[in-house]
Structure formats: structure tokens, C-alpha cells
Amino acid sequence: MARVIAVVNQKGGTGKTTTSVNLACALAEKGKFVLLVDLDPQANAGSGLGIEADPKRGTLYNALIEGAAPSNLIYETNVEGSLHVIPAEQDLSGGQIEMVNMEDREFLLKNALLEIRNDYDYIIIDCPPSLDLLTLNALTASDEIIIPVQCEYYALEGLSQLLNTIKLVKENLHPDLKVLGALLTMYYRRIRLSEDVVSEVRNNFPYFVFKTVIPRNIRLAEAPSFGQSVLTLAGWSKGAKAYRKLADEVINTNAK
Ligand SMILES: Nc1ncnc2c1ncn2[C@@H]1O[C@H](COP(=O)(O)OP(=O)(O)OP(=O)(O)O)[C@@H](O)[C@H]1O
Ligand SMILES: [Mg+2]
């Protein structure tokens, strides 16, 4: 049975997609069977791996809204090991409105993944920058959550709203949901501020904070334009090394 991990933060641009794609690839590189699910209508996770949704086959939208079998929506990648992707598309944004009146609307993703959960070691879900019905579906479908936090001023701002949502989900929909940890991203060692943010988060975040810190690294930013993860594009780069370390930490960490 897969460990299902959602990468969540309602704040935009904190490194959710970069983390989802590269963590998924790093886990696959270590021999794990991994499925990356793109739950963001921006559809960056799939396109970052060079995947174009085939209109004849469909995307996550078809599974959530139309009940299409998810096994038909799985796209293979050329990542070493085994990495599969269920891509998103812009329609998912309107799909959310259709979801509002559906039965079990908070559990559509969970139900869609049931049939394929056993085929993978890890399922990584890239979430949109919002606390909407799509993200709620990610929270109910997941065992664990990773929260990427950008090393910048006000890094912790907005996190209390996210933690409160997680608390409400635990109380009302999914008691077993766990926070795996916060991940510090875009660390820039030449700036004192980055260090201050790291210690602020380590001292004040109420859950685990990963030892691995993701540096600001140009290779990470440019990899999606090549339709590749940083691991295959620049396997020796600081960004690649950091995501490999993160994968080790994820494999060895039990969420509380
Ligand atoms: N460690 C990093 N070093 C350099 N650039 C990075 C790093 N992480 C992310 N970026 C860049 O920062 C931007 C935002 O990152 P990303 O898309 O991963 O964030 P996101 O949280 O998924 O955004 P959104 O909220 O829009 O979904 C992207 O252009 C990405 O390439
Ligand atoms: Mg994103």
C-alpha cells in the first residue's frame, strides 16, 4: 500500500511543484514505484516532466468529475526507475465548481486512487496554491503532508490558517492525517535573512522540520523548461543533491 503524500501550501510560489516533481523523481531513482498526481489546474507538474495530456485519454479531471478509471489516465515517464504521472489540465478549475454538488465531494480523489494505491510505494500529490475543494480532496486522500516554506520574510505567515485547516480535516473528515514536516526551500546562503528564517521556522513550527534544506539553485528553476526533473537534467547540481537527501529523509521519517 502506497504512502500518499500531499505537497501543500496555499501561498503561491513556495516550491510545491518543484518539490513534488523532484521528490517523486528522487524516490523513483532509489527504486521506489512512484505516482505523481497533478492536482493543480496550472498543470505545471505534468508539463515539467514533458508530459502532454492526450485529449483521447484525459486527465485527472476525468477521474474526479466523470468517474473515469484512473488506470487509463496514467502516463509513463522516462525517469530511471518507475515514475508515472496523472496530469492535470485547466478544466480542473471549472471542475471544482462541478464538484460542489457531487456526492462525497471531499473524497473524490481518495476514491479515485483506491483502485491504484496498491500499485505504488509512493503517491505524491502536487496541490494548487489555495485552500479550496481541490486541496481538501488532497488532504482527505493523503496519509501525510509536506509543507514547503520559502526562506523569506513572513515565511510563517499564513501557515496557521493551513494548520487550522489540517486540524479541521482531522477532526471532521480524516482522523489519521499526519503532518510529515515543513520543508525549507529557496535557501540563499549569502543572505543573512535566509538563516534567520531557518531558525525562526525551526523554533516556531509546531511539527517536524526536515533537516534537508533546499537551496536556491538555477538548475531547479530551469529544469521544467526542458521537460525534465533536475535529477536527469543536472544530476550533480546542488538542487539534485538536496532532493535526493530529502527523499532519504522521507523514506526514513515516520509522521507523527
Ligand atoms: N530551490 C529553488 N531554486 C530556484 N528556483 C526555484 C526553487 N524552487 C522553486 N523555484 C522556482 O520558483 C518558482 C515557484 O516554484 P514552484 O512552481 O515550485 O512553486 P509552487 O508552490 O508550486 O507555485 P504555485 O503556488 O504557483 O503552484 C518557479 O519558477 C520555480 O522554478
Ligand atoms: Mg505549483
CATH of the domain at 54: 3.40.50.300
- Please report the pLDDT score of residue 4 as a whole number: 98
Across 184-190, average pLDDT: 91
Across 108-132, average pLDDT: 96
In the reported structure, the alpha carbon of residue 92 is separated from the centroid of ligand 1 by a whole-number distance in angstroms of 21
Q: How far apart are the first and last CA of the chain?
A: 19
Looking from the CA of residue 221, the nearest atom of ligand 1 is: 31
Q: What is the pTM of this model?
A: 0.97
Looking from the CA of residue 215, the nearest atom of ligand 1 is: 1
Q: What's the domain range around 132?
A: 3-252
Q: Are 182 and 19 in contact (CB under 8 A)?
A: no
Tell me: pLDDT of 255 over 80.
no
Nearest CA to ligand 1 atom 14: 13
Degrees to nearest 5, angle at CA 226 with 88 and 216: 90
Measuring CA to CA, how many Å separate 13 from each of 72, 112, 127, 151? 31, 27, 11, 11
**C-alpha cell recorded at residue 150:** 520559502
In the reported structure, the alpha carbon of residue 193 is separated from the centroid of ligand 1 by a whole-number distance in angstroms of 19
Q: What are phi and psi of 187, to 5 degrees?
A: -75, 130
Pairing mode of beta strands 3-7, 122-126: parallel
Q: Are 224 and 253 in contact (CB under 8 A)?
A: no
Distance of alpha carbon 137 from alpha carbon 121, whole angstroms: 20
- Beta-bridge partners for 179: 145
Distance of alpha carbon 24 from alpha carbon 4, whole angstroms: 11
- Please report the pLDDT score of residue 211 as a whole number: 97
Q: What are phi and psi of 165, to 5 degrees?
A: -60, -45
- Please report the pLDDT score of residue 81 as a whole number: 81
Across 192-218, average pLDDT: 93
- Please report the pLDDT score of residue 156 as a whole number: 85
Nearest CA to ligand 1 atom 17: 17
Q: Which residues line ligand 1 (CB under 6 A)?
A: 12-18, 40, 42, 44, 129, 185-186, 214, 216-217, 220-221, 239
- Please report the pLDDT score of residue 158 as a whole number: 85
In the reported structure, the alpha carbon of residue 75 is separated from the centroid of ligand 1 by a whole-number distance in angstroms of 23
Query: Quick one: what percent of the chain has pLDDT higher than 70?
Result: 100
Give residue 70's pLDDT band: very low, low, confident or very high (50, 70, 90). Answer: very high
**C-alpha cell recorded at residue 208:** 517536524
Tell me: pLDDT of 36 over 80.
yes
Mean pLDDT for the chain overall: 94
Give residue 209's pLDDT band: very low, low, confident or very high (50, 70, 90). Answer: very high
Q: Are 156 and 197 in contact (CB under 8 A)?
A: no
Q: Are 184 and 198 in contact (CB under 8 A)?
A: yes
Give residue 167's pLDDT band: very low, low, confident or very high (50, 70, 90). Answer: very high
Q: How many domains does the chain have?
A: 1
Looking from the CA of residue 224, the nearest atom of ligand 1 is: 31
